[in-house]
Structure 1
Amino acid sequence: MHMPNRSRPLPLLRARKEAARRLLRGAALTLCGLGLSMAPGAAQGQDAPGGRPAFHDVGGRIMIDYSAFTLTSGGDFDLLGVHYLQNINDWLAFGVGASAPIAGGNYGGFFAADVTLHAQRDIGRNFFVNAGLAVGAGAGGASVNGIRRLSGEGFYTRAYAGIGYHFRRFSAGVNYARVAIAGSELNDSTLNFFVQVPFSFAVGRFGDAGQVLTSDEFRAPQHQNIISLQFNHVQQINPTGLYQGTIGFASTQFTHFHTPNVYSYFGVDIGATGLLWYNQAHGGIGGRVALGRNVNLYAQLGIGSGGWVTDTIDTGPGFIIYPKVTLEYLWGNGVGTTLSAGYFYAPFGTSRNWTVGVGLNYHLSHPERRGGGVLAGAEYTLRGIRLHTFGRVTSPIFYNGRESEGLTMVALQADYMLNDRWYLAGQIAAATNAFRGFAGYAEGFFGAGWQTRPFAGGRLQGYAQVLYGLNDVGVDPAREVGALLYPSIGVNYYLNERVSIYGQLGATISLGRYMNASMTNSWRNTSIGLGMTYRFSLPTRS
């Protein structure tokens, strides 16, 4: 007589429990964003421009912090973090940030990204107390196999509380922090030293996007700000790591001038060719010299952290020094083309590299008048910006015909409105669980989207978008799947003029085998995302 197979329900039950666990983790990644829904205002979709644009000041802080840890294996490790925290009200802030090692251990290339909910209250005599919770993803290691030990599943959590003191231009203090990555050697409590620099700037209503105004009609920037996009070719000098080829960086940089010709900057470089997802972040100071009416020379010196895994690119604990010069030709309306050359090296490792690059500069604000001050009557156009922070949970992934467990990712997407229907979009997402035993899976996309008119009383607005990009499916280039196509549809549910609940349903499909005859790898999955959107308009040069 045939007996029923009673072993079958157990794998099914485990799969269901795992799916439920991933869904709960995906929900946790969006909890920080829920505080944004407390901002006041009437719910509405994209507003029809009417009257003169209204502005409000956005305030917050840049927080830089440092912690040294002891791994459960007994080794040393440290993290330097940079966070952008925007105020929700007078005591609560929400933001995003990244952390990387610089001096402890031998883990250059480790990188953690998170979303943070931060609370802070003054208690008198310039003292304040603060506390925060961050969740995200982190991965790296001293070797390919070491990724499993240091990075575990990749789900990064950080909780902290402490006290600080307000100085004239900045604040500083100390927190007690608990930092962990699920299933990894990083699970420690330690002192965390931090510095905060306050900021504020004027933003308009999202519905006023497209309107033109002059610098006399709002609090125009006193000094210039520049967004830069570049592609940099990296040539290694006498490499000692396992990878000895060239790397192509996709680079972005934000530059803020403190005087007409002295600036500070923050930049990020991601490997787009050669060694995919090599990563480094750096910041520093620089100066500008005008060589002609439309020609500028920039020179800057940055410090930061970067690498891949240490035995592949030897940056030691990750600390890098990066001097760079850039030649710019301005074509008009704030747009310039650039040529650059640089040299970055890891003083505690053996990595030495030349870089040459081409790119674009976009000057967000007008130059100053001679002698200082805002250029009177300079025209600005309000450009609609949307920032989405959300969790993405994927279906099982079909990789080369084999089914693998799905992923839970934390994602950040920025939309730049071209008009009231079309927009450009860029998205980056990192997994909080391991893919086939390795943490650190990531995706990066750019593309375009289209949105409907608001409906249901202005509370709902649908959209469809197509993004193109790359992922990182492993530690061996032979496993890569090449380019990815990510079509998605979704909806915004507006809680008020600035904040909405954001939903997304998409599919990821590999294109590499169709674009390169030598590539046979394939990748396919679907995903669902849920999070929050913050939208505004930013005055930029017309």
Structure 2
Amino acid sequence: MLFKFIKRTLIVAFTISVHFFYGQKTPKKETQIGFGQVDFLSIKMPDNEKNMGFTGVHYNLKLNDWSYAGAGIYGAVSGIRGGFFTLGVNAGVQQKITENLFIDAGFHFGGGGGASAPDGGGAFILPHLNLGYNFKYFSTTAGYSYIDFFDKGAIKSNQFNVAIQIPLSFETVDFKERESSFILDDLKNTLWNNTSNRVSLLVHLNNLDVTKGSYKDKTIRLAGFEFNSYLNKKIFYFIKADGAYHGIKAGYMDVFLGAGYHALMNKNRTNILAKFGVGAGGGGDVDTKGGFLIYPDVSIEQKLFDNIYVSINKGFLMTPDAHFSSSTLGFGLKYYIDKDGITPSIQEKKTFSKAKFKGLEAIIKQDLYVNAARDDKGGFTQNMHQISLQINFFLNKYVYGAGQTSFANFGAAGAYAEGIVGLGVQSNTFFNDTTSVFVQLLGGAAGGGGISTGQGLIVKPSIGINYKLTDKLDIRSGLGYVKARGGNLSNAYFNLGINYHFSFLSIK
């Protein structure tokens, strides 16, 4: 009898402990309101040059009912400056006049340039004052804007601008909850019991075999990333960015926005994706005229394990009149995420059993390159500054994969840009939960602005520290070293910025 009693007691205790482990209190769910924006302005260029068509892609977080802040990238799509790109930060206010009519006043500060344009060091401001109308599922705005490349640049212009804004919100919990795990049954009676959203991230190498125009019969080797977000089971939209690291003079990059169709095969282990994108590209002496490019592509993906696939893509990249054209062949790794809910929306035949909160950081920072080497003869060096956007996705509680893009904004190197990826490790917080440290190694494509990067391949190790401002914001500071393969760039750098971090629900 005593043995049976002990046995039953142990079974009950074990059952309770398992339930406690999986049935732990779910983290508080918060909705971060945000919106994406695509805008266009036609910039008057100096010396009677043809206007430069400038289009931007932005994402902004709503800070409250009337203000917002975020980041965006611009690229030339008409004129003669194909390859002219910038990166910057946004801030603004939106005030309702009527239920649907509103005023949008904002400010954009950034850096960049390219295509031998008179961009000086690259720093510029772009304020706007627009009138907008809310059509429920999207908004449109139009109005006045002013642009000034004020660091010894000659580009200054007043112009009309138009924009489309689309609501894009997401669910978050505290960053400290990353890697917390649950079984789905424990989430059925919570606010997480809603339909999930599917996204994916592809990191790839892409080869352009040039068939017409600059570098005909040569191969331009690119590295970059692609982000997909699904509207339903088969239709998705994507944003893609690449930079050259071999085959031509450093400085080429492209950015595309588009949509695609996803077909499932082989019990969801094989995917075929057909995509079409439009965007901007150029630099590195690749003549894309005004910079507007089209990008049709077909990809085949094969599942390796869990949500990781290997991808092969084949397509074309060209100007609409085929002044420059190339065939494309790429290889990469893709990671799929079903997020923000426990009910699958994309693959109806797939069932999920577990949920885990994954950490994400978005960092805007200002870099200082000490005595950055130039291509000029005589070993000319000068300090260079750049604005950078880095995204960290945590693979576990401490290790993250990182992607970063940067554009020069002071130091007479306005056309310089970077697109790099890598890995990092970040510690737990200490000093009363206020401080953490990190070490990371990034590498990829860089060039332009007269900076000596050879054919464009760089490596950047660094260490740094995060200090807590709020639950979602840290001050982030780092120092490191940058080395170009085949170029003279080899020096220390420092940076300081803001780290916005949170965790999101991922199911599998």
Higher fraction of strand = 2
In the alignment, what sits opposite 1:8? none
Alpha-carbon distance in 2 for matches of 1:362, 1:371:
15
The within-5 A match list for 1:71-220 is 71-75=45-49, 76-103=51-78, 105-141=79-115, 147=116, 149-182=117-150, 183-213=152-182, 214=184, 216=188, 217=190, 218=192
Which residue identity lines up with residue 70 of structure 1 in the other structure?
Answer: K
2:118 aligned counterpart, secondary structure: helix
2:430 aligned counterpart, secondary structure: coil
Which residue identity lines up with residue 212 of structure 1 in the other structure?
Answer: S
Change beyond 3 A, Cα 1:522–1:382: same
For residues 126-160 of structure 1, the C-alpha deviation after alignment (integer angstroms, 9 at most, x for no partner) is: 1111111111112122xxxxx1x432221122111
Which residue identity lines up with residue 327 of structure 2 in the other structure?
Answer: W
Instruction: Give the superposition deviation at 1:165.
Output: 0.6
Which one is further off, 251-260 or 170-179?
A: 251-260
Alpha-carbon distance in 2 for matches of 1:280, 1:470:
12
Q: Is the 8 A contact 2:383 2:411 kept in 1?
A: no
Change beyond 3 A, Cα 1:137–1:370: closer
Q: How many residues align?
A: 473
Q: Aligned Cα RMSD in Å?
A: 2.8
The within-5 A match list for 1:386-405 is 386-397=361-372, 402=379, 404-405=381-382
Change beyond 3 A, Cα 1:481–1:235: closer
Alpha-carbon distance in 2 for matches of 1:409, 1:185:
19
2:338 aligned counterpart, secondary structure: coil
The within-5 A match list for 1:299-310 is 299-308=274-283
Instruction: Give the superposition deviation at 1:482.
Output: 6.2
Q: Is the 8 A contact 2:453 2:489 kept in 1?
A: no
For residues 239-279 of structure 1, the C-alpha deviation after alignment (integer angstroms, 9 at most, x for no partner) is: 33267521112232222222211222221122222233411
Q: TM-score, normalised by structure 2?
A: 0.85
In the alignment, what sits opposite 1:406? 383
1:347 aligned counterpart, secondary structure: coil
Instruction: Give the superposition deviation at 1:427.
Output: 2.8
1:319 and 2:288 are equivalent in the alignment: no
Instruction: Give the superposition deviation at 1:50.
Output: 6.9
For residues 327-351 of structure 1, the C-alpha deviation after alignment (integer angstroms, 9 at most, x for no partner) is: 1112342211111110121024611
Alpha-carbon distance in 1 for matches of 2:334, 2:277:
18
1:269 aligned counterpart, secondary structure: strand
Change beyond 3 A, Cα 1:316–1:493: same
In the alignment, what sits opposite 2:396? 419
Alpha-carbon distance in 1 for matches of 2:345, 2:414:
53
Instruction: Give the superposition deviation at 1:207.
Output: 0.9
Q: Of 263, 270, 280, which aligns to 1:289? A: 263
Unaligned runs of 5+ in 2: 1-22
Change beyond 3 A, Cα 1:374–1:235: same
In the alignment, what sits opposite 1:430? 407
Alpha-carbon distance in 1 for matches of 2:331, 2:140:
38
The within-5 A match list for 1:340-419 is 340-348=313-321, 350-365=323-338, 377-397=352-372, 402=379, 404-419=381-396
Instruction: Give the superposition deviation at 1:370.
Output: 8.7
For residues 297-325 of structure 1, the C-alpha deviation after alignment (integer angstroms, 9 at most, x for no partner) is: 1111111111126xx32322111111111
In the alignment, what sits opposite 1:538? 504
Alpha-carbon distance in 2 for matches of 1:374, 1:534:
36
Which residue identity lines up with residue 84 of structure 2 in the other structure?
Answer: F
Which residue identity lines up with residue 381 of structure 1 in the other structure?
Answer: K
Change beyond 3 A, Cα 1:361–1:349: same
Alpha-carbon distance in 2 for matches of 1:191, 1:219:
45
Alpha-carbon distance in 2 for matches of 1:285, 1:417:
27
In the alignment, what sits opposite 2:426? 451
Which one is further off, 267-276 or 194-203?
A: 267-276
The within-5 A match list for 1:223-262 is 223-237=197-211, 239-241=212-214, 245-262=218-235
Instruction: Give the superposition deviation at 1:391.
Output: 0.9
Alpha-carbon distance in 2 for matches of 1:69, 1:481:
31
Q: Is the 8 A contact 1:249 1:271 kept in 2?
A: yes
Instruction: Give the superposition deviation at 1:166.
Output: 0.4
In the alignment, what sits opposite 1:274? 247
Q: Is the 8 A contact 1:109 1:279 kept in 2?
A: yes
In the alignment, what sits opposite 2:3? none
Q: Is the 8 A contact 2:223 2:444 kept in 1?
A: no
Instruction: Give the superposition deviation at 1:198.
Output: 0.6
Instruction: Give the superposition deviation at 1:445.
Output: 3.4
Instruction: Give the superposition deviation at 1:494.
Output: 0.5
Q: Is the 8 A contact 1:388 1:534 kept in 2?
A: yes
Which residue identity lines up with residue 112 of structure 1 in the other structure?
Answer: T
2:176 aligned counterpart, secondary structure: helix
The within-5 A match list for 1:318-337 is 318-337=291-310
Alpha-carbon distance in 1 for matches of 2:252, 2:118:
17
Alpha-carbon distance in 2 for matches of 1:449, 1:248:
25
Alpha-carbon distance in 1 for matches of 2:196, 2:400:
29
Change beyond 3 A, Cα 1:503–1:434: closer
Instruction: Give the superposition deviation at 1:441.
Output: 1.7
Alpha-carbon distance in 2 for matches of 1:165, 1:414:
32
Alpha-carbon distance in 2 for matches of 1:308, 1:250:
15
Alpha-carbon distance in 2 for matches of 1:80, 1:219:
39
Q: Is the 8 A contact 2:73 2:85 kept in 1?
A: yes
Q: Is the 8 A contact 1:368 1:375 kept in 2?
A: no
